[in-house]
Amino acid sequence: MDAATAATATAAAALVWFRKGLRVHDNPALDAARRSAARVYPVFVLDPRYLRSDPAAPSQGSARAGVARVRFLLESLRDLDARLRRLGSRLLVLRARDDVSDAVCAALKDWNIGKLCFESDTEPYALARDKRVTDFAAASGIEVFSPVSHTLFDPAEIIEKEYIPPFRGGETEALKRMRESLQDKEWVAKFEKPKGDPSAFLKPATTVLSPYLKFGCLSARYFYHCIQDVYRSTKTHTKPPVSLAGQLLWRDFFYTVSFGTPNFDQMEGNKICKQIPWIENEELFVAWRDGRTGYPWIDAIMIQLRKWGWMHHLARHSVACFLTRGDLYIHWEQGRDVFERLLIDSDWAINNGNWLWLSCSSFFYQYHRIYSPISFGKKYDPNGDYIRHFIPVLKDMPKEYIYEPWTAPLSVQEKARCIVGKDYPKPVVDHEAASKECRRRMGEAYASNRLGGNPVKGNSSNSSRRKFSDGGQDVPDSSMSKQPR
């Protein structure tokens, strides 16, 4: 068929606009057009942008393409035409005078086209050209189908997943996510906080239902009874406080204690909060908040928080301990404010309760148990994949140094294209010395509280703590984890 024949068409037809998809096999645009209309116009438009001659060009060919590339294109078009003929069709080759979109829009108008099909593109020039065409099609009532078929995956979806994981809001998503989590009955039966991998980011090692509980998109009561249904179908299952149902009970605990405690969200005037003389250091606080402490495990977590609005509960443990009693000795209220602003699941009662807990200001008092900003993450992710993802400047750092890049020889840093102190910050404190000083200060604060009539109640229950291989130091297991994340 030629343009003259096409112009006489009376019934709405489909136009397949070939660009990069110069093939018949695995061509969703062509397939969709053939299914949707009895008359299909396969079209390729010669673009003057690429084929216009240039006498000043340093070699044969056009202004933008050498002769070999032009030859390859023409051979591909000839072969495509031959393959279309086997299907009872022909390739219509149009030549645009100036703008390709003008030629396509003219064909859509003159040939009574009801559906336009073309393979999506990603280049800025192509995106602008395609928008002009799709805008015209929309205004003309022409259906547009533009599938992703030039790449294995949709670049837009990949980028969206980088910044917005599958945490979409709403009841529909909440119920879908809950059902998916509860489908694995063995996982539900064996669920045990604080076990889990805080470095798992492509597929989080938790239910990620906390945002839906916070906003009420998921009923906590309904979730609880659904969990009980699973328990009834299994022989054995974990028990509170570490079980999945136990996390909902922890949630109620924090709601109850916060409701009954005046000034629950602050240190002063809070009768259950130890009075600790935290330091004020804006430079250290900002370094922590912005993921610039020089400790990759801590920084990666804070960057994930800023980008995603979520991180694993053990990751929350690490950064909260680092800010307060572990390294920087900065007031838990400042960290609370950052979490309150950035977390999609930030809940007033739970956020304040967890910061009280992990700073050893209330609920948990074994302040000598500190998360190492080096060895704790390393035991879950020795290769540092989590760090490499959220801190790209460290992506080429050998795994021997990924958690302590400042210890890498200069030659290694140069090869990794990451000079510590230039491309990535030096540590803001020495962990060994800082944690020792924090323990000393906490000891003094606790002694002062005892003298002031605020006795320290040790937390020795085996059910609420667990020993980790963390450079020989124990850490609490239950703070920042009092609901199913």
Q: Which CATH number is 99's domain given?
A: 3.40.50.620
Helix (H) or strand (E) holding 45: strand 40-46
Q: Both 270 and 351 in a single domain? A: yes
Q: Of 98, 131, 152, which residue constitutes the final position of a domain? A: 152
Model pLDDT, residue 374: 98
Domain of 346: which CATH number? 1.10.579.10
* Domain-embedded: residue 298: yes
Q: Both 148 and 279 in a single domain? A: no
* Domain-embedded: residue 7: yes
Q: Both 421 and 293 in a single domain? A: yes
Q: Which residues contact residue 432 at a Cβ distance below 8 angstroms, ignoring those fewer than 6 apart?
A: none
- The C-alpha atoms of residue 425 and residue 418 are separated, in whole angstroms, by 10
How many domains in the chain? Answer: 2
Residues of the chain with pLDDT under 50: 1-10, 453-482, 484
Structure tokens of 36? Answer: 């949707």
Model pLDDT, residue 452: 65
Model pLDDT, residue 270: 97
CA neighbor of 201 nearest in space, from 291, 310, 289: 310
* Domain-embedded: residue 341: yes
Model confidence, pTM: 0.66
Question: Hey, how many other C-beta atoms are within 10 angstroms of the C-beta on 357?
Answer: 24
Model pLDDT, residue 462: 30
Model pLDDT, residue 19: 87
Q: Both 172 and 147 in a single domain? A: no
Which 3 state secondary structure label does DSSP give 283?
helix
* Domain-embedded: residue 20: yes
- Give φ, ψ of 476 to 5 degrees: -70, 150
Across the beta sheet with 143-145, the strand order is 92-95, 40-46, 13-18, 113-118, 143-145
Bridge partners of 61, per DSSP, are 66
Q: Both 177 and 138 in a single domain? A: no
- The C-alpha atoms of residue 285 and residue 297 are separated, in whole angstroms, by 16
Rounded alpha-carbon distances, angstroms, from residue 201 to 164, 178, 304, 315, 381: 12, 19, 9, 11, 11
- The C-alpha atoms of residue 166 and residue 158 are separated, in whole angstroms, by 11
Structure tokens of 199? Answer: 């470095």
- The C-alpha atoms of residue 254 and residue 238 are separated, in whole angstroms, by 21
* Domain-embedded: residue 99: yes
Q: Both 123 and 250 in a single domain? A: no
Q: Do residues 213 and 484 lie in contact, with contact meaning Cβ atoms separated by under 8 Å?
A: yes
- The C-alpha atoms of residue 196 and residue 345 are separated, in whole angstroms, by 19
Q: Both 450 and 330 in a single domain? A: yes
Model pLDDT, residue 201: 86
* Residue-range definition of the domain harbouring residue 82: 3-152
